[in-house]
């Protein structure tokens, strides 16, 4: 694996970010009592008309972190019931399923306009407290060109407006940047938050749903690919810097696809694995 070129300048924090990174400000919760929190859903994470599902899941995880038990999401399953609405308020409703010494399991719901938008069940833990046992077995990162040789996501012909590019910096492998130019449904890319916020375990969950759909490389312009269900297993806390992602679809049938993903940190440590079931919707511009 090629390492990211350290000569690539880090983005200057914007004025709003100076008071707190975008992800933290735009998932900030206001307690309402009884495990309920008010939240303003930003439209700066939108893909087309709807907020990215990883961003909405991050809001739910902030609610579970507010239980003040364990802070690292280790296993997160999100069912997306309806699209969220960017630029509108909402509420996160949380409940404790089980509290243990090593794992806390919680449930969270995002509600907007009186309607449930997603349901999250997460096992939370402390990944720094997990002792090493036995021999390690992991997946090595793939070979990848340096960041400056990769293609910004905004330059991909996805057929949908990517407001999320103001929050997430994604650079795709040049050989996978041409719509329909590959024989394999695979996306490789570097990813980080635009304002320089260091990655953490919650960001790893968000990144697992923030990549260009792997089916793009095989089929070309695909427009919006809404997720039905996403499961992320977080294996470690990431080191600072760019993260590397590889996402592959090997199962597409009747307009539904199963995509598997892996994320590595800047030191080549496997941080997260994911699997999602998504719908392949026709591009309205076709």
Q: What share of the chain has pLDDT > 90, as a percent? A: 71
**Given pLDDT bands bounded at 50, 70 and 90, which one contains residue 177?**
low
pLDDT in tens, 93-126: 999 999 999 999 999 999 999 999 999 999 999 9
* Of the candidates 78, 75, 54, the residue with the CA atom closest to the CA atom of residue 127: 75
Answer with the residue of higher pLDDT: 283 or 274.
274
User: What pLDDT, on the 0 to 100 scale, is given for residue 129?
Assistant: 78
- φ and ψ at 218, to 5 degrees? -90, -45
**The domain defined by 16-127+144-279 carries CATH number 2.40.160.210:** yes
Q: 23 is written with which tokens?
A: 């992800």
Cβ(39)–Cβ(92) below 8 Å: yes
Mean pLDDT (the chain) is: 88
> Does residue 83 surpass a pLDDT of 60?
yes
* C-alpha to C-alpha distance for 230 and 245, rounded to whole angstroms: 16
User: What pLDDT, on the 0 to 100 scale, is given for residue 180?
Assistant: 61
**Given pLDDT bands bounded at 50, 70 and 90, which one contains residue 8?**
very low
* C-alpha to C-alpha distance for 181 and 151, rounded to whole angstroms: 14
User: What pLDDT, on the 0 to 100 scale, is given for residue 4?
Assistant: 56
**Given pLDDT bands bounded at 50, 70 and 90, which one contains residue 13?**
very low
**Given pLDDT bands bounded at 50, 70 and 90, which one contains residue 11?**
very low
User: What pLDDT, on the 0 to 100 scale, is given for residue 153?
Assistant: 75
User: What pLDDT, on the 0 to 100 scale, is given for residue 285?
Assistant: 42
The mean-pLDDT minimum among 27-41, 133-147, 187-201 falls in 133-147
Q: What is the 3-state secondary structure (H, E, C) of the chain?
A: CCCCCCCCCCCCCCHHHHCCCHHHHCCCCEEEECCEEEEEECCCCEECCEECHHHHHHHHHHHHHCCCCCCEEEEEEEEECCCCCCCEEEEEEEEEEEECCCCEEEEEEEEECCEEEEEEEEEEECHHHCCCCCCCCCCCCCCCCCHHHCEEHHHCCCCCCEHHHHCEEEEECHHHCCCCCCCCCEEEEEEEECCCCCCCHHHHHHHCCCCCCCHHHHHCCCCCCCEEEEEEEECCCCCCCCEEEEEEEEEEECCEEEEEEEEECCCCCEEEEEEEEEECCCCCCC
**Given pLDDT bands bounded at 50, 70 and 90, which one contains residue 48?**
confident
| Mean pLDDT calculated for residue range 61-70 | 93
> Does residue 245 surpass a pLDDT of 80?
yes
> Does residue 12 surpass a pLDDT of 60?
no
User: What pLDDT, on the 0 to 100 scale, is given for residue 158?
Assistant: 57
User: What pLDDT, on the 0 to 100 scale, is given for residue 231?
Assistant: 98
**Given pLDDT bands bounded at 50, 70 and 90, which one contains residue 204?**
very high
Q: Is 40 exposed, middle or buried (0-12, 13-18, 19+ CB in 10 A)?
A: middle
């Amino acid at each position: 694996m090629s390492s990211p070129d350290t000569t690539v300048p880090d983005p200057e924090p914007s004025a709003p970010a100076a008071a707190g990174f975008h992800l933290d400000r735009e998932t900030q919760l206001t307690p309402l009592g009884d495990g309920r929190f008010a939240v303003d859903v930003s439209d700066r994470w939108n893909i087309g008309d709807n907020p990215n599902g990883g961003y909405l899941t991050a809001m739910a995880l902030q609610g579970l972190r507010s239980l003040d038990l364990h802070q690292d999401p280790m296993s997160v399953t999100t069912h997306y019931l309806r699209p969220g609405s960017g630029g509108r308020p909402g509420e996160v409703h949380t409940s404790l399923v089980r509290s243990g010494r090593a794992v806390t399991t919680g449930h969270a719901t995002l509600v907007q306009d009186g309607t449930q938008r997603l349901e999250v069940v997460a096992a939370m833990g402390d990944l720094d407290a997990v002792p090493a046992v036995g021999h390690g077995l992991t997946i090595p990162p793939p070979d990848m060109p340096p960041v400056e040789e990769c293609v910004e996501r905004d330059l991909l012909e996805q057929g949908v407006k990517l407001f999320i590019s103001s929050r997430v910096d994604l650079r795709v492998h040049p050989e996978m940047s041409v719509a329909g130019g590959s024989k394999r449904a695979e996306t490789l890319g570097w990813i980080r938050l635009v304002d320089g916020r260091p990655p953490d375990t919650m960001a790893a969950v968000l990144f697992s749903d923030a990549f260009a759909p792997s089916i793009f490389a095989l089929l070309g312009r695909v427009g919006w690919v809404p997720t039905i269900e996403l499961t992320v297993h977080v294996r470690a806390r990431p080191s600072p810097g760019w993260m590397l992602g590889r996402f592959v679809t090997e199962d597409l049938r009747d307009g539904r696809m199963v995509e598997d993903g892996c994320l590595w940190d800047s030191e080549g440590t496997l941080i997260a694995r994911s699997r999602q079931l998504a719908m392949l919707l026709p591009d309205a511009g076709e």
